Amino acid sequence: MTATPYAVELKDLRKSFGKTEIIRGANLAVAPGERVGIIGPNGAGKSTLFNLISGRFGPTSGQILLNGKRIDGLPPYQINRLGLARSFQITNIFGRLSVFENLRCGLLWAMGYRYAFWKFLADLRDANERATQLLAMIGLQHKRETLAVNLTYAEQRALEIGITIAGGADVVLLDEPTAGMSKSETARFIELIREVTVGKTLLTVEHDMGVVFGLADKIAVLVYGEVIAFDVPAAVRANPRVQEAYLGSVLADHQAADAH
């Protein structure tokens, strides 16, 4: 092992639901600062993989390491405290709280306020400043006091990312960040994600190949619960196993789109 441990490392990770094995011995090692796009056909287990890494489920066997520390089987909040944050495919925000409150909730633990009931939120200068900064970063200054439930879909997606990065985690998992967005919204949104995740280790699950290639330096291909390739995009495209698994379809489509 190198001196600096991998940001995220999966070792022979397996997960079964009943008799069905969804993740079948996945291996992956992501170096700090790498930006990885995880692709694969429907049902390959991409979302399950994210749920395992972020602690939503415990793995059946195998190991997950975050910065060299075992995190498999830990509850989500402990994994988050160790520096991993995730967003959700289906928007997962605090509907009856304002946009500002949503962001502030996202950073309270990381800033050390924990379960404090002897301090007023209004007096937490650093937390309020950081929440205001985040508000500007995701471009929702004018919606500061709006209840999250009243935002437009695209704004909710932006807030979703804002809550995810609020705590300053250095490993960020994004589960289909642009799901349900229009093409123009998607383009702007990718820019936003790039800006707010500078310097972080980024793992993204995406169906939209444009998004994947826009956000990722490296591609991991997940097929039937196994990582069959993990490399820079050009090498992944050329990989015969990947071409076979996809029957040329998705990547070929993308190459065709590129050619235009």
Partner 1 sequence: MKATATHATTAAARRRFDTGRIVVWGGYALLFAVAPLVFTSNLDRSILTQIGVAIVACLSYNMLLGQGGMLSFGHAVYTGLGTFVAMHALLGIGDGSFPIPVSLIPLVGGFAGMGFAVVLGYVTTKKAGTPFAMITLGLGELVTAMSLMIPEFFGGEGGVSANRVVGQPILGISYGPQIQVYYLIAIYTLVCTVAMYAFTRTPLGRMLNATRDNPERVQFIGYSTQRVRFFSFIVAGFFAGVAGGMYALNFEIATFEVVGAGRSGLYLLFTFLGGATFFFGPIIGAVLMVLGFALFSEVTQAWQLYLGLIFLLMVMYAPGGIASLIMMNVRVAAYRKLHRLWAWYALLAATGLFMLVGVAALIEMVYRLQLESGSGSTLRYLGFTLDTQGTASWLGALAVAAVGFVVFELVRRRFVRAWETIEGEIEATAALKEPAS
Interface with partner 1, residue 198, by CB under 8 A: no
Judged by beta carbon, residue 114 or residue 183, the one nearer partner 1 is 114
Q: According to DSSP H, which parts of 109-152 are helical? A: 125-137
Instruction: Give the DSSP letter of residue 232.
Output: -
Establish if 106 lies at the interface with partner 1 (CB under 8 A). Answer: yes
CA neighbours closer than 13 Å in the CB half-sphere of residue 242: 23
Query: Binder to partner 1 among 22, 93, 193, 216 (CB under 8 A)?
Result: 93
Nearer to partner 1 by C-beta: 68 or 112? 112
Strand order in the sheet with 218-223: 84-86, 171-175, 201-205, 35-39, 218-223, 226-231
Burial class of residue 233 (count of CB atoms within 10 Å of its CB; 0-12, 13-18, 19+): middle
Residue 157 binds partner 1, judged by CB under 8 A: no
Q: Which token pair is 201? A: 């280790």
Q: Which 129-148 positions form the footprint of partner 1 (CB under 8 A)?
A: 129, 132-133, 136, 142-143
Report DSSP state, residue 58: -
145 contacts: CB under 8 Å, gap ≥ 6: 98, 99, 100
Q: Which of 58, 68, 95, 248 binds partner 1 (CB under 8 A)?
A: 95
The length of the chain is 260
Geometric angle at alpha carbon 22, from 19 and 26, rounded to 5°: 130
| Binding of partner 1 by 77 (CB under 8 A) | yes
Q: Which is nearer to partner 1, 119 or 194 (CB)?
A: 119
The DSSP call for residue 11 is E
CB 194 within 8 A of CB 31: no
Map the footprint of partner 1 across residues 35-64, applying CB under 8 A. 54-55
Rule CB under 8 A: choose which of 138, 163, 179, 245 binds partner 1: 163
**Judged by CB under 8 A, which of 1, 2, 20, 123 binds partner 1?**
123
67 makes contact with partner 1 (CB under 8 A): no
Q: How many residues bind partner 1 (CB under 8 A)?
A: 47
Shortest gap between Cβ of 3 and partner 1 (angstroms)?
28
- Cβ 211 to partner 1 shortest distance, Å: 22
Q: Which stretch binds partner 1 (CB under 8 A): 13-21, 35-43, 92-100, 198-206?
A: 92-100
DSSP state of 120: -
The answer to whether residue 162 forms part of the interface with partner 1 (CB under 8 A) is no
Cβ distance to partner 1 smaller for residue 197 or 239? 197
Tokens of 32: 């700090």
Task: Report which of 210, 170, 166 is spatially closest to residue 186, judged by C-alpha positions.
Answer: 210
Residues that bind partner 1 (CB under 8 A): 54-55, 75-77, 80-81, 85-86, 88, 92-97, 101, 104-106, 108-110, 113-125, 128-129, 132-133, 136, 142-143, 155, 163, 166-167
